[in-house]
Amino acid sequence: MNLKQFVIEWNLKNPLDRWWREKHKIAFNSKQHREITPVDIVFEFVEDKLYNKSVERETMNKKKLEDFEKGKWIKEQEINKEQENQLLDKLVDSFKLS
Amino acid sequence: MTDQLIRKVEFPTPTLVINILQNEYTLKWPDTGQFIDIELKKVAYAKQQNDGLIAKASVESINVSFTIDMIATFHVLIPQLERDINTPSLFKLPLQQNAHLLNIYLRKIYPWLKQLYEAVNDSVIDTEDEIKGE
């Protein structure tokens, strides 16, 4: 097995290791890489994922609130001409019945 | 939520105490450098074995692959072991002593490292499932 094969196998067996090195721009087998433990890496991964999800949720809620305040929810309920005619027909019918 | 994730994945104890002959060793979770060294040594020793450089008496009658893994692991995690047990090389151990070390490795160290490896990989799957399931 040559070095290239070794690195390929290492990355296949340790996908998080590669994720961590890419995130921090750290070379394989460098001092920083050698000193980190797989457990430290996994904790960083879990924290990152949960934090990103939380930020995403926060952004979405903020956007929803902004849309609500701008009255976008009213625009979303706009009806087309055909629907408008149908509603008018119903209204007329209801008068006829009474 | 992080607590739940960590609890779901079962990490092994951060340290492992083992006794070899009269000596006690406390192993800590290896760092990445140690894992790399173990893997590199396994490759190198396997090549030596194939080239017939390893003393045949010590490895032939027992599972060669596990013996190579064991020696690579001991060389990295307990570098002073050869000195402590008064042997010039773990490859030249008498069969009985080799079997004794192999027993410790297979019953204690290997399951401990395997659990660590699985916990790390399970954490990735669990985190992704947790996020998808929200």
Size of chain A in residues:
98
B88 inside 8 A of chain A by CB? no
B134 to chain A: which residues are within 8 Å by CB?
53
A51 inside 8 A of chain B by CB? no
Per-residue pLDDT reduced to its tens digit, A2-36 = 788 888 999 998 989 999 999 999 999 999 999 99
A73 inside 8 A of chain B by CB? no
Under 8 Å between Cβ of B99 and B62: yes
Q: Is the per-residue pLDDT at B72 higher than 50? A: yes
Cα–Cα distance, B119 to B123 (Å, whole number): 6
What's B15's DSSP letter?
A: E
Cα–Cα distance, B9 to A16 (Å, whole number): 16
pLDDT at position B6, please?
Answer: 47
B113 inside 8 A of chain A by CB? no
Compare CB distances from B29 to A15, A39, A53 and report the shortest one's residue.
Answer: A39
The dihedral built from the CA positions of residue B43, B47, B49 and B55, taken in this order, carries a sign that is negative
A36 inside 8 A of chain B by CB? yes
pLDDT at position B61, please?
Answer: 47
Nearest CA in chain A to B11: A39
pLDDT at position B64, please?
Answer: 81
Other beta carbons within 10 angstroms of residue A50's beta carbon come to 16
Nearest CA in chain A to B113: A38
Q: Is the per-residue pLDDT at A62 higher than 70? A: yes
A43 by DSSP, 3-state: which?
helix
pLDDT at position B124, please?
Answer: 76
pLDDT at position A76, please?
Answer: 67
Burial class, B97, CB count within 10 angstroms (exposed 0-12 / middle 13-18 / buried 19+): middle
Instruction: Name residue B28's beta-bridge partners.
Output: B15
pLDDT at position B70, please?
Answer: 95
Cα–Cα distance, B111 to B83 (Å, whole number): 25
CA angle B117–B61–B107, rounded 5-degree value: 30
Per-residue pLDDT reduced to its tens digit, B33-69 = 999 999 999 999 988 876 665 555 554 545 688 889 9
B79 inside 8 A of chain A by CB? no
A60 min Cα distance to partner chain B (Å): 14
Can you give the C-alpha Rg of chain A in angstroms?
Answer: 29
pLDDT at position A5, please?
Answer: 87
Interface touch B2/A15, C-beta < 8 Å: no
Per-residue pLDDT reduced to its tens digit, B79-129 = 999 999 999 999 989 888 989 999 999 999 999 999 999 888 887 776 666
Q: Is the per-residue pLDDT at B130 higher than 50? A: yes
CA angle A14–A8–B69, rounded 5-degree value: 65
What's B90's DSSP letter?
A: G
Q: Is the per-residue pLDDT at B15 higher than 60? A: yes
Size of chain B in residues:
134
B54 by DSSP, 3-state: which?
coil
Q: What is the pTM of this model?
A: 0.74
E strand or H helix at B17, and its extent? Answer: strand B15-20
